[in-house]
Amino acid sequence: MPDLHALHLPVMDRELCSVGSSTIASVPHSYLKTLLAGSAGLTNAFWRETLIQSEIHRQWVDNLGSRQALPRVAHVFCEIAARLESVGLYKQKSFDAPFTQETIAEACGISLVHTNRTIQEMRRQSLIEWEGKTIEILRRDQLETLAEFSPSYLHVLNPPRPVAAG
């Protein structure tokens, strides 16, 4: 829920965009306030979500403010892989990427040329492979070390378990 804080603040302080197909639902804040007033458990769940989003925000501030381009881009790939893994969409060390190098450049605050060189360096180090819309993470441990990445800030509670063939 991208504007949960707006339940108490009158204006959302950012814009959202999608790099792939999305489904959007709108729930009036008046309805949520009524619902939350009657449920301590739901209020706690929403409060937890707000705290997690704050922690993710702090990680992005750290990533953009203190890391060089190579670990910065590596961190983005690690976060995407961890998020997709938590919903079962990171398979066989790869994921489908609806974004481009330009999207990565914008997210990381670096030029497209710098992004391309950074990705080429990751390829040279055999950390990733990016073919078409598929990104394969070849050596995840090394990529996470380079990125100073730990997925703990995402607070994934129940990662999916592999489905046994049968």
Residues in contact with 21: Cβ distance below 8 Å, sequence separation at least 6, in sequence order: 98
Strands laid side by side in the 128-131 sheet: 94-96, 134-137, 128-131
Is residue 111 within 8 Å of residue 105, measured between CB atoms? yes
Q: Which fold has domain 69-150?
A: Arc Repressor Mutant, subunit A (1.10.10)
Specify the pTM. Answer: 0.81
Q: Per-domain residue ranges for the chain?
A: 28-66, 69-150
131/43 Cα distance (integer angstroms): 43
- pLDDT category at 7 given cuts 50, 70, 90 is confident
Rounded (10°) CA dihedral 94, 135, 62, 141: 50
The pLDDT assigned to 25 comes to: 86
The pLDDT assigned to 156 comes to: 80
Instruction: Render pLDDT for 143-154 as a digit per residue (tens, 0 to 9).
Output: 999 999 999 999
The pLDDT assigned to 165 comes to: 52
For residue 45, give the amino acid letter: A
H or E element: which one contains 92?
Answer: none
Residue 59 C-beta-side C-alpha neighbours within 13 Å: 21
